[in-house]
Chain A
């Protein structure tokens, strides 16, 4: 049971606090309700580039990292389709430094041309390192726009085109900041060795005077229902052929989310998952296979991806994947299997809550979902999924007309 308290400042900043005296540290997580889905399609990658700029100095503090390191802190950040999340851990006695730093960069950034130019280069190198210079690195860059035709999830957080990053200018950066970075668009979580009263006092002291800002309203295009299967085939000089399949699912805030997440575990959770057992262990068609859902707030995807063994025909491999799914739809008795994946969720939940950083990130994210209590009750949501729900969700979502398939063919001769 994770106990927490919650309050809001007058400027709209929401704060959650969980006390854990077993650690000498405090974790601080600051979530901004802005992600790559909020970008202009002509200017993608800005949310993530902006995350980089957040370390280049703020109104009163020329450099973010040094003062934090000077008090034994460590930090990082990530950008997703939906959020930009900044986090740090720091020795408890120095937590005020965390407040000082985070509040100043919420107040206003030091928008410098030099910093923007450098970080554009860094982000381009990141793009190359993660996507271009990796075998199969482009797969998701191809799969997403196949599945999404109009919703912003069709581009990756790093941006759909490197030229978007290259052409970003300081004015766009500034306007992005003032329309998304604000106390009324953020959630602060503090976990670890900090008392509620102190957290309240410091939040008020450092964030209380930052004024509310007008947040750009979010009118995202709704992705139209997919009605027929989409297939794309590309050829690449990679060692093995790979198969990627994606189906549209519902939003994060629906019960289907838990059912589908559980389905990915039935399919590929651990080595006893069905896809692994049938297709890796028994039929020896794949060297590896995985299934997961994108945990996006708007309707996301359930994705199955695998790399084929040598000389295996991709059509046969795909048919075999479909057979495993059909099996799930036909719904033979899976009582033990259901129990197994639920136990695994229970276990992962407990493990995830051993780290103060995870607890802070989870509390912030669940607050964004509208219910921080989920940190304690999500395991029950998984528990309540029945075999009937699994069958129903499989029949509803994991069907050919809702599927986008990417065949990533190896041209290599061995």
Chain B
């Protein structure tokens, strides 16, 4: 035991990632269903997703309010009854409206599938958007909003999207107090009628899938008949604001929030996997350059990260951090310094190996278990992609060379294109 060699790590290569394929079929009314059998417990994750995100709204908060109001009363149940039933069967319901899509995700014990489908049908297709609940919700949301606007991080995020996607685009505009007074029952009914429709919808199921799922889905949802009306999609492309540098003064804060980034390509672009890798090197994991430099070397921050995200009509990359006011400018300078380094000096072999292996491990985690599998499936499927996207990414992780990283950094991180948002005390 005394001869134990503690200096060198016992390293073995990471195995090839193996991604289970989703099965697909259509309900009798044409709605696509994707199923991924996985996991060890008798549980299911059921997602109903609609092209009903913010990009479809003509008034701020319309998409998110419509989504939140789905569970606030239906033709057959009051809001209280719906919530009590969900809780009684131990169902976890997540409602969300994002920039492009909106919908609900339910997590439950497989044995309750029938009850879950019955409640889902009420929530999705029979909501009545009662006025009193709407008024109460908007008052509550205003309170949540006011609290969120106290946080430098949230102020910076809102401003960042406005700068990058423009004041007039649903991807970009910021919500103001008055927006909470503008929504009516009629507007919600109209939005729901247009976008929560069979032709706008897909179902993604994962877990230990109950044997009767297909049959039950048909019996609950086949009566929803597509109306054959296609509302014209909002296709105006977002356009960033002219002003690249914005500072918002927030007196009394001890830290500033910083966001630096710009619009970028999305998953459909062939450079995207490479950009993901570049992002990892820069700020995508604990060992990234930004973390090493600004946290582990200088101790300016509790955390700094960068990310790349895809949207239907665009995409964006952003570096985020919260730093003590006195170190704010120094941190920003370091961020630009790190970007410039990536544009000029090839990443060394050793660092490439760490990034490659870290990301390979990350890919295993992305497909581990029924929930991760469903989320990874969805995030490719939304862009019309399948597992080949992930295989391409896995291949790129293995083969990308340092010159390509330099090339990508020069193309996608041109400093003059970057927006810089800071929020904090002056």
Binding site for B on A (CB under 8 A): 20, 22-25, 59-61, 65-67, 69-74, 89-91, 93-94, 96-97, 100-101, 103-104, 107, 117-123, 125-126, 128-130, 132-136, 205-206, 208-209, 237-240, 269-272, 277, 280-281, 284, 287-288, 307, 309-310, 336, 339-341, 343-344, 346-348, 350-351, 353-355
Contact = CB atoms under 8 A, between A and B. Distances in A.
B35 to A, nearest CB: 17
A350 to B, nearest CB: 5
Given A72-B357, A287-B144, A125 B323 contact: yes
B142 to A, nearest CB: 8
Contact of B80 (A126, A277, A340): A277
B315 interface: no
A74 B302 CA distance: 18
Interface stretch (B337-345, B367-375, B400-408): B367-375
Nearest to A23: B368
Given A91-B15, A133-B322, A272-B87, A128 B10 contact: no
Given A72-B361, A239-B147, A350-B43, A281 B80 contact: yes
A273 to B, nearest CB: 8
A22 B107 CA distance: 20
B147 A238 contact: yes
* B interface bracket (residues with beta carbon within 8 Å of A): 35 or more
B191 interface: no
B91 to A, nearest CB: 7
A125 B255 contact: yes
Ranked nearest first, the 3 interchain pairs of A and B with the lowest CB-CB distance are A72-B361, A347-B90, A121-B299
Interface stretch (B1-9, B160-168, B213-221, B269-277): B1-9
Given A67-B9, A120-B299, A288-B143, 20 more contacts: A22-B369, A24-B18, A59-B6, A61-B9, A69-B355, A69-B357, A89-B361, A94-B11, A118-B296, A122-B302, A133-B255, A240-B143, A287-B139, A309-B139, A309-B143, A310-B143, A343-B88, A344-B87, A354-B369, A355-B369
B285 interface: yes
A125 B299 contact: yes
A231 B83 CA distance: 34
B392 interface: no
A66 B287 contact: yes
A206 B10 CA distance: 12
A162 to B, nearest CB: 11
Contact of B300 (A101, A119, A125, A344): A125
A270 B83 contact: yes
A391 to B, nearest CB: 21
Nearest to B84: A272
Contact of B361 (A90, A129, A209): A90
Contacts of A209: 1-2, 4
B312 interface: no
B286 interface: yes
Contact of A340 (B84, B149, B369): B84
A153 to B, nearest CB: 24
B86 to A, nearest CB: 7
Contacts of B87: 269-272, 340-341, 343-344
B230 interface: no
Contacts of A65: 286-287
8 contacts: A24-B15, A24-B18, A72-B361, A73-B361, A96-B12, A240-B143, A310-B143, A353-B41
Residue with the greatest number of chain A CB neighbours at <10 A, chosen from B87, B285, B357, B364: B87
Nearest to B140: A287
Given A74-B365, A133-B255, A344 B90 contact: yes
Residue with the greatest number of chain A CB neighbours at <10 A, chosen from B147, B324, B353: B147
A96 B365 CA distance: 18
B357 to A, nearest CB: 5
Interface of B: 1-2, 4, 6-7, 9-15, 18, 38-43, 71, 79-80, 83-84, 86-92, 107-109, 136, 139-140, 143-144, 146-147, 149-152, 252-255, 285-287, 295-303, 322-324, 353-355, 357-358, 360-362, 364-365, 368-371
B12 A126 contact: no
Nearest to A348: B90
B41 A69 contact: no
A74 B108 contact: no
Contacts of A90: 361
A346 B297 CA distance: 46
B299 A239 contact: no
Contacts of B86: 270, 272
Contacts of A94: 10-12, 14
A148 B43 CA distance: 41
Contacts of A350: 41-43, 109
Contacts of A135: 147, 150-151
B249 to A, nearest CB: 15
B132 to A, nearest CB: 10
A281 B7 CA distance: 61
Contacts of B144: 287-288
A408 B24 CA distance: 53
Nearest to B253: A133
A152 B109 CA distance: 40
Contacts of A353: 41
A284 B142 CA distance: 13
A134 B151 contact: yes
Contact of B370 (A103, A341, A354): A354
A89 B83 contact: no
Nearest to A345: B90
B218 to A, nearest CB: 26
A239 B361 contact: no
A128 B324 contact: yes
A309 B141 CA distance: 10
Contact of B10 (A97, A269, A288, A341): A97
Given A125-B300, A270-B86, A132 B368 contact: no
A25 B285 CA distance: 19
A146 B193 CA distance: 53
B352 to A, nearest CB: 11
Nearest to A72: B361
Contacts of B18: 24
